[in-house]
Chains A and B, each alone.
Chain A
């Protein structure tokens, strides 16, 4: 009887202690990361956040659109989550401009983000010179993944580095009865491939001029037409079932040796890893032909204004944890991305990620359209690329006109 009372008292004490702690730094984290690798990546941040005294509550909803809808409803209802997973760039601009987000400038100053992050990353987390997003991971997108056994069996000794070499290699594969390009036939994927081709034709600076300023001179240059022509030629190396295909199904074609190459962001590495393949041994990762830089897109945490001091403190801790060097490496390994800091130990990362890190340190990182233009423009651009690829009769010159029109609006 006595021991019972004691036990109850003790457990009540323990409970109240944990309750008190739970009220210390509570954070409701709103993410759409639910798949295997993504969930593992989140776990890396969560573990460290809780070890430092935070209380993590996940509000995760699969799929960007569903998550966006739920998030919008909560903001309009005046009940925003503490932390929102967001794409770096203009995705969060309206929330910041409407004064719905908390600044992270103090953490950025204290942790010397300016010293350890690439300028292009810093640019994409700042709004009017003030930092509002905590970057958690960067995805390199200029990748051409290829099947090493397929390349070897057909006498292709090295990854092609120019478009001429590329098309020659694809002709070889086609003659051998292999689908040359494993094509993901959804407009957002096609837009990423088009960006790779475009970058190879206009170079890093002009690429940025297009997507940051809608520069008229670049948009009307011949390089755009050439890029569209090269992109259009890719249609000839795609199989009949490509339309609507998911990116991971395309990756699987390379894994199975049914196809030669796939152009995709580094998240495709997750599929290769799941199939037990190792980068540099079983499959190759090379830059898309003639790439002058590495296109990237990145994820970050946006801290919403909740009007609650405890949550505000939790947000600062979250920003610190998310950009912690050890957490950064663990997160990148699980998600297939690369760390946002240039000063982390890269030895644990695979060869592709290491190559990307070198490029980041050399200042060769170029932000993709999702970072530099509004979601509305991203949509129009994606529509354009999807239409162009689906319609072989769409000629490159008039397509270049239509592309320029998107930026003139």
Chain B
């Protein structure tokens, strides 16, 4: 009993630096950010109370609304695209193809690169005077068009494309690891029953990959919120403001436009929107856990 108490104390003591970090660094800066968003701060923090003025201005700014809209488009398509493509790649490799490890390295390679490099590569590839378009036109396909980066309505999808190219390797690795953990007996049984391979992947393998896919989705979603460098390297937010994202809006206003108040207000809105998206998931997980434990 006494020993147990001591052990608990020791564990708490060992965790105390972590707690301190969480409280001071995370919660502290969060509170600081929220406080600043209610002030008139420009270049430097000031404590001139401004009420909700910054928030009002924020939602009057078409660029910010566009940034939020782009975040949703990019977030949904990027996460979904990476999951689908990553799963397909994993399934293909799972068929014990030749040179599997070479392919695996090749597909994972983009993930090892920074978003800046990814952005630059795709900027060249998608540039209508340099990359894919002139290549195809040169091969005789005169009407070939691939000018997404220079097209206001398509530019955000160009960002999605580059993002998927980079992120699907991660999903592939996680999904492949999951597939390798699945009992070979299931395959044998499926073969005896005459079930086609694609059906096995869809109905038997995929449901068992739940945890791996959820982990991949979480990692990717975190990347979505902080998407900044990919946009900077690929389009610089243009043409016009068509590929503006919240992280870029915040950085611009904080370090270039001397709008600390507006930038912190935007950061708070971003935080709230993340909480709004995450909360239902957490609630659903909580309910499921209770049900499983038979308490509901």
Residue ranges of A at the interface with B (Cβ–Cβ < 8 Å): 64-66, 68-69, 72, 75-76, 94-95, 98, 185-187, 239-244, 374-376, 378-379, 383, 386-391
Pairwise interchain contact A244-B255, C-beta atoms closer than 8 A = no
The stretch from B94-102, B203-211, B218-226, B237-245 touching chain A is: B237-245
Which of B79-87, B103-111, B144-152, B181-189 binds A? B144-152
- CB-based A-B contact count at 8 angstroms: 90
Q: Is the CB of B240 within 8 A of A76?
A: no
* Chain B residue with the shortest CB-CB distance to A390: B240
User: Out of B44, B63, B152, which one reaches A391, CB within 8 Å?
Assistant: B152
Cα(A386)–Cα(B63), bound, Å: 12
| Bound Cα distance from A233 to B99, whole angstroms | 55
**Contact residues in A for B235 (Cβ distance below 8 Å):** 243-244
Residues of B54-72 whose CB lies within 8 A of A: 63
CB distance from A87 to the nearest CB of B (A): 11
B→A interface (CB under 8 Å): 42-45, 63, 123, 127-130, 147, 149-150, 152, 155, 234-242, 251-259
Residues of B within 8 A of A244 (CB): 123, 149-150, 234-236, 238-239
In contact, B257 and A65 (Cβ under 8 angstroms): no
- Give the shortest distance, in Å, between A309 (CB) and chain B (any CB): 25
B156 to chain A, nearest CB (A): 13
Nearest B residue (CB) for A70: B255
For residue B253, which residues in chain A have a CB less than 8 angstroms away from its CB?
379
Closest-by-CB residue of B relative to A378 is: B257
Cβ B256 vs Cβ A94 within 8 A: no
The answer for the CA separation of A76 and B254 in the assembled complex, in Å, is: 14
Q: What residues on B are CB-neighbors of A72 within 8 Å?
A: 43-44, 255
Q: Which chain B residues lie closer than 8 Å to A94 at the CB level?
A: 42-44, 258
Q: Is the CB of B44 within 8 A of A98?
A: yes
Return the chain A residue nearest B251 by Cβ.
A65
Residues in chain B near residue A98, CB distance under 8 A: 44
A-B contact pairs, 6 of them (CB 8 A): A69-B255, A244-B236, A374-B42, A389-B240, A391-B152, A391-B240
Closest to A68 in B: B255
A376 to B257: give the CA distance in the assembly, Å. 5
In the complex, the chain A residue whose C-beta lies closest to that of B60 is A409
Q: Which residues of A are found within 8 Å of B237, using beta-carbon distances?
A: 187
Contacts A94-B42, A376-B42, A390-B152 known; list 11 others, CB within 8 Å: A65-B255, A69-B255, A72-B43, A75-B44, A185-B239, A241-B129, A244-B149, A244-B239, A374-B258, A379-B257, A390-B238
Asked whether, in the complex, the Cβ of A383 is within 8 Å of the Cβ of B44, the reply is no
* Residues of B with C-beta under 8 A to A68: 255-256
> Residue on A with the closest CB to B234?
A244
In the assembled complex, the Cα of A390 lies from the Cα of B254 at a distance in Å of 25
Instruction: Say yes or no: A186 contacts B256, CB within 8 Å.
Output: no
Among A64, A94, A374, A383, find the residue whose CB has the most chain B CB atoms closer than 10 A: A383
A65→B149 contact, CB < 8 A: no
In the complex, residue of chain B having the shortest beta-carbon distance to the beta carbon of A243? B150
> Taking A98-B44, A187-B238 as contacts, is the C-beta distance between A241 and B127 under 8 angstroms?
yes
Query: Contacting A387 at CB < 8 Å: which of B43, B127, B150, B240?
Result: B240
Q: Which residues of B contact A388 (CB under 8 A)?
A: 240
Q: Which residue of B lies closest to A253 (CB)?
A: B129
**Complex-state Cα separation, A383 to B256, whole angstroms:** 13
Contact of A240 (CB < 8 Å), options: B150, B152, B155, B234: B150
List B contacts of A378 (CB < 8 A). Answer: 257
Closest beta carbon of chain A to B57's beta carbon, Å:
9
**C-alpha gap A148/B44 in the complex (Å):** 48
